[in-house]
Amino acid sequence: MSNQDGPRDHRLREELPEEVPAAESAAAGGGAAEPSGLTGRQRLVKGLWPPRVTRAQLIVAVLLFGLGFGLAVQVASNSDSDSALRGARQEDLVRILDELDDRTQRLEDEKQGLEKQRDELENSSDQAEEARKQTVEKERQLGILAGTVAAQGPGITMTIDDTKGTVEADMLLDAIQELRAAGAEAIQVNGVRVVAGTYLTDADKSVSVDGNKINAPYRFKVIGKPQDLEPALNIPGGVVQTLEKEQATATVERSDKIVVDALRAAKRPDYARSSSQ
């Protein structure tokens, strides 16, 4: 009996010491072992909280926040600038694009005309005569712009009826600026010639143009390319729609011949003199 139990006890003694180093290693690892009752999720939360944020990570976070805020402001700005066209109909957008193309073509034609004048001056056998002709032509053009000579040509007539008395000077000024941007070469409003220095003011439920009081209906006679002038007034949010919101009506008619015959007296400058004298 004792002989049989002896080898078995010896084997048990050889197996038991293997479990002791495990407990000792846990104690030597830096303290008491973790409670065996913690789950894997609890140990994960314990390792992540509280977070350890370094100064470099904080700086990167602030920079990323600033970059995101700047991008958001830029996107909002672009959205505001495009909102005026998003609600426009397809035919209105096509008309606006056509107007831009026409303006580009007009500038290109003007460029080619100037280049042609330069070539004529350089290649003409009688440059003095050519210069004289161009001087006369330039004087005529400047006279039209200054309003000292009459002009005629294709264009439009715009009539603004203001039965409610709501049209103010700034609305008429917007119409003049829109027409100039569309290529108007001569403008006349109720018998008053519009020039570069023209100013408009409100005057007792009417409008004064360069000190000349005019009353409704306001009649614009404009010389220029009708295909450019009329669409410029009818763009979404443009002159015609603005007047309609003020309970005024604006009608635009194209014509092959518009006569602008209101003249302004030529004013001699008090101090400026030609540098060629």
- Angstrom distance (rounded) from CA 206 to CA 169: 8
Q: How confident is the model at residue 2 (pLDDT cuts 50, 70, 90)?
A: very low
**Sorting pLDDT into bands at 50, 70 and 90, what band is 80?**
low
- Is the pLDDT reported for residue 183 higher than 90? yes
Has residue 131 been placed in a domain?
Answer: yes
* Residues ≥6 apart with Cβ < 8 Å to 217: 159, 160, 161, 162
Of 128-142, 169-183, 196-210, the range with the lowest mean pLDDT is: 128-142
Residue 98 lies in a domain: yes
Q: State the pLDDT confidence band at 107, using cuts at 50, 70 and 90.
A: confident
Indicate if the pLDDT at residue 1 is higher than 90: no
3-state secondary structure of 192: strand
- Asked, for residue 79, whether it belongs to a domain, the answer is no
Measure CA 152 to chain center: 35
Long-range contacts of 82-85 (CB under 8 A, 24+ apart): 84/236, 84/237, 85/236
Helix, strand or coil, per DSSP, at residue 250: strand
pTM: 0.54
Residue 218 lies in a domain: yes
Asked whether the predicted pLDDT for residue 154 surpasses 90, the reply is: yes
Residue 30 banded pLDDT, cuts 50, 70, 90: very low
Task: Reply yes or no on whether the pLDDT at 125 is more than 70.
Answer: no
Place of tokens 């194209």: 254
Confirm if 210 and 192 have CB atoms less than 8 A apart.
yes
223-252 average pLDDT score: 92
Q: Which residue has the higher pLDDT, 35 or 202?
A: 202
Within a domain: 236: yes
214 vs 58, higher pLDDT: 214
* Residue scoring higher pLDDT (176 or 75): 176
Q: How confident is the model at residue 208 (pLDDT cuts 50, 70, 90)?
A: very high
Whether residue 78 is contained in a domain is answered as no
In this structure, are residues 181 and 239 in contact, taking their beta carbons and an 8 Å threshold? Answer: no
Residue 170 belongs to a domain = yes
d(CA 174, CA 207): 13
CA 111, 151, 268, 201 dihedral sign is: negative
Share of the chain above pLDDT 70, in %: 73
Contact 100, 181 (CB under 8 A): no
Q: Which domain holds residue 252?
A: 88-264
CB count, 10 Å around CB of 81? Answer: 9
We report the CATH number of the domain holding residue 229 as 3.30.70.1880
**How many separate domains does the chain show?**
1
Domain assignment of residue 50, yes or no: no
pLDDT of residue 25: 43
pLDDT for position 50? 62
Q: Which CA distances in Å does 22 have to 8, 16, 18, 114, 256?
A: 24, 11, 8, 98, 107
Range picked from 26-30, 47-51, 172-176 for highest mean pLDDT: 172-176
